Amino acid sequence: EAGVVQSPRYKIIEKKQPVAFWCNPISGHNTLYWYLQNLGQGPELLIRYENEEAVDDSQLPKDRFSAERLKGVDSTLKIQPAELGDSAVYLCASSLAGREASWSAQYFGPGTRLLVL
């Protein structure tokens, strides 16, 4: 079974430029998460989708960050414009859990490492 797929794996951009990250979850996983991991820290949740609905985006900086999961499968996270402080690893995870389902472990992709110059 294929795991969570993310692309690109690495991205270097100049500040004020836009950038987008793509995630394809494990087949059949209805819940998708985007996490931000700063150097030396644990991941922090940015946004959670159940199918195509964003059910928790309270930690997403909405002035510059946006996300979508139009067909309830793969998802895109965008930053526009990027700032120096956005340099981090952006992790995508998926699970079978949902509001009507019991807890399920989250499975992570390899992440996209962003460097903003």
Binding site for another protein (CB under 8 A): 4, 6, 31, 33, 35, 40-45, 48, 50, 55-56, 91, 93, 95, 97-111, 113
- CB of 82 or CB of 109, closer to another protein: 109
Q: Are residues 16 and 82 in contact, defined by beta-carbon separation less than 8 angstroms?
A: yes
- Rounded to whole angstroms, the Cα distance separating 21 from 75 reads 8
In order of 12, 36, 43, 84, 85, the CA distances from 40 in angstroms are 20, 12, 10, 17, 14
What's the closest the beta carbon of residue 93 comes to another protein, in angstroms?
A: 8
What's the closest the beta carbon of residue 9 comes to another protein, in angstroms?
A: 8
- CB of 22 or CB of 107, closer to another protein: 107
What's the closest the beta carbon of residue 40 comes to another protein, in angstroms?
A: 7
In order of 34, 35, 69, the CA distances from 77 in angstroms are 8, 10, 9
- CB of 20 or CB of 96, closer to another protein: 96
